[in-house]
Structure 1
Amino acid sequence: MFPRSPLEDPEKAAHAWARYRRIMAYMMTITVGLVLTSVILLYRSNGTISVHAYIATALCVAFTMLLASALMGLAFLSSGDDWKGK
């Protein structure tokens, strides 16, 4: 038999998911900054290129950053370091 997860408690789960949403909001602002920076650097190094290259660069940077931060946030959520003592 597996032990019960502390996330089954509604109060602890609400606290953990609120922390996860804060992490994702913070990472979204960093992602927007990195996307803007990467597009500006691409323009500075290559000049005027196809708009498709800018769109692809922006989407790739955004997708990579948000996927990595979502997975890392879920790892923090499942580790339970924040709610073990409560």
Structure 2
Amino acid sequence: MAKHSPLDDPQTATYAWARYRRLMRFMFMLTVAVVIIAMALIYKQNGMISVHFFIATALGIGFSMLLMSALMGLVFLSSGTGHDESVEDPLKDETDQA
């Protein structure tokens, strides 16, 4: 039987998801700032290249940063709420005997 997760409690879950959304808003603002700085530096060093280059670079930087921050935010959410400790390890008995 699975252990009780702290995220099953509505109050804890509400607080945890609000914290996650706050982290994602901050990371979105940081991502926009980094993309703007990167575009300015590329323009300063190379002048006006193809507009497609700027679009691809902005999307690449933006998507990568937002994906990494979303995944790391979920790791922090899981660890910070105690959800990780509620997972039952079926291999625990095997590793203890070895």
Q: Normalising by structure 2, report the TM-score.
A: 0.80
Unaligned runs of 5+ in 2: 84-98
Encode CA deviations 1:12-65: one digit per residue, 9 max, x unaligned: 000000000000000011000000001001101111100000000100010010
Correspondence for 1:32: 32
Q: In angstroms, what is the RMSD of aligned CA positions?
A: 1.5
Contact 2:20 2:74 in 1 (8 A): yes
Percent identical residues:
57
Q: TM-score, normalised by structure 1?
A: 0.91
Aligned pairs (5 A) from 1:40-51: 40-51=40-51
| Runs of 4+ in structure 1 over 6 Å off | none
With a CA cutoff of 8 Å and minimum separation of 6, indicate the structure with the bigger relative contact order: 2
Deviation at 1:2, TM superposition (A): 1.9
Cα distance between partner residues in 1 of 2:80 and 2:40: 39
The unaligned stretches of length 5 or more in structure 1 are none
